[in-house]
Amino acid sequence: VQLQASGGGLVQAGASLRLSCAASGPTFSRYSMGWFRQAPGKEREFVATIFRNSGNTYYADFVKGRFTISRDNAKSTVYLQMNSLKPEDTAVYYCAGSSSLILSTIRNSRHYSYWGQGTLVTVSS
């Protein structure tokens, strides 16, 4: 599956953005999907995941209550709604897919086989 992320931009602190990740191919529903981010000079880190069958969602502690991951299988798209953005949320955001994700591995980027190109989110103070 090929992934195309979009929706990034420059916003002020406190604003909202919605990232989208469109997948090619008819099998999107078979993949659990996640969002990661990488700030300048830092390692890529887990943001959120939504499982393929249950639709259960999991978040990094630093985004709980502010970010929401969702998916629309009919549109082969996963979303990341980001509210109350902070300057420390500035990063390139990547969507990722996995056909075999389990709960114990959601935070490990190596367990996602498919990656989008990333979309830059910049939050000014």
pLDDT band at 25 (very low <50, low <70, confident <90, very high): confident
Q: What is the pLDDT of residue 20?
A: 98
pLDDT tens digits for range 56-105: 999 999 998 999 999 999 999 999 999 999 999 999 999 999 999 999 99
Q: What is the pLDDT of residue 1?
A: 87
Whether 26 has a pLDDT exceeding 90, the answer reads: no
How far, CA to CA in Å, does 50 sit from each of 38, 73, 74, 91, 112? 19, 12, 15, 20, 12
Strands 119-124 and 9-12 come out as parallel
